[in-house]
Structure 1
Amino acid sequence: MAKRVLVAYALWAVGGPLGLHHLYLGRDSHALLWMLTLGGFGFGWSREFLRIPAYVKEANQDAEKERKPRNAPPPVSPVRFAGQVCVGIYFGTVALIGLNSLNFFYLIVLPLSMGAGVHLVSNVGQQTSDLTKTLTACLVTSPIFYGSSLSPLPISLAASITATQHRRFKPPRTPGSQNNLGPRLYRLSLAWLAFSAPLGYCIFHNTTATLYYLSDSIAALLDIFWFLPGLRGALEYILLIPYRILCVLTGGGYYDEAWKKVLEILLREYTEREKTALKVLSLETEASLEEINRSYREMAKTWHPDHNPNRDAEKMFVKVQEAYEVLLRWHKPHRFT
Structure 2
Amino acid sequence: MAKRLLVAYGLWALGGPLGLHHLYLGRDSQALLWLLTLGGCGAGWLCDAWHLPGWVAAANGAGGPRRRGEGGVPAPGPLGFAGQVAAGTYLGVLAGLALPGAPAVPLASALGVQLAASAGERTAAAGPVLAAALLAALLCGGRLPAALPASLAAAAAARRHRRCKRPGAPGARLCRLALAYAALAGALAYAVLGRAAAVAAAVLRLPQRAGGLLAHALGFGAGPGPEPLDARRLWAYQVLGLAAGSSAEDVHRSYRELVKVWHPDHNRHRAEEAERRFIELQEAYEELAGPRKAPAASAAA
Taking the TM superposition and a 5 Å limit, the aligned residue runs for 1:256-275 are none
Deviation of the 1:206 alpha carbon: 5.8
Provide the secondary structure at the position in 1 that maps to 2:26: coil
Counterpart for residue 262 of structure 1: none
Counterpart for residue 31 of structure 1: 31
Q: Distance in 2 between matches of 1:8 and 1:192?
A: 21
Q: Within the alignment, does 1:198 sit opposite 2:197 as a pair? A: no
Deviation of the 1:152 alpha carbon: 0.8
Q: Is the 8 A contact 1:97 1:199 kept in 2?
A: no
Provide the secondary structure at the position in 2 that maps to 1:168: strand
Q: Distance in 1 between matches of 2:25 and 2:77?
A: 22
Q: 1:12 to 1:275 in 2, by over 3 A?
A: farther
Deviation of the 1:274 alpha carbon: 11
Amino acid at match of 1:130: A
Q: Distance in 1 between matches of 2:116 and 2:106?
A: 16
- Out of 169, 172, 177, the residue aligned to residue 188 of structure 1 is 177
Give ranges in structure 1 of 5+ residues lacking alignment.
209-271, 282-314, 320-337
TM-score scaled by length of structure 1: 0.54
Counterpart for residue 135 of structure 1: 130
- Report runs of 4+ in structure 1 exceeding 3 Å deviation: 64-68, 182-186, 272-281
Cα RMSD (Å)? 3.1
Q: Is the 8 A contact 1:98 1:199 kept in 2?
A: no
Amino acid at match of 1:197: G
Deviation of the 1:183 alpha carbon: 5.9
Q: Within the alignment, does 1:72 sit opposite 2:67 as a pair? A: no
Counterpart for residue 117 of structure 1: 112
Higher relative contact order (CA 8 A, sep 6+): 1
Q: Which string of whole-angstrom CA distances, capped at 9 and with x for unpartnered residues, describes residues 253-310 of structure 1?
A: xxxxxxxxxxxxxxxxxxx9699584369xxxxxxxxxxxxxxxxxxxxxxxxxxxxx
Q: Which has the larger radius of gyration?
A: 2
Amino acid at match of 2:86: C
How many aligned positions are there?
Answer: 210
Q: Is the 8 A contact 1:98 1:201 kept in 2?
A: no
Q: Distance in 2 between matches of 1:27 and 1:187?
A: 13
| Percentage of pairs with the same residue | 42
Q: Distance in 1 between matches of 2:64 and 2:59?
A: 10
Q: Distance in 2 between matches of 1:206 and 1:158?
A: 35
Counterpart for residue 279 of structure 1: 292
Q: Is the 8 A contact 1:29 1:123 kept in 2?
A: yes
Deviation of the 1:67 alpha carbon: 3.5
Q: Distance in 1 between matches of 2:41 and 2:93?
A: 14
Q: Within the alignment, does 1:91 sit opposite 2:91 as a pair? A: yes
Q: Distance in 1 between matches of 2:78 and 2:94?
A: 24
Deviation of the 1:54 alpha carbon: 1.0
Q: Is the 8 A contact 1:98 1:198 kept in 2?
A: no
Give ranges in structure 2 of 5+ residues lacking alignment.
199-284
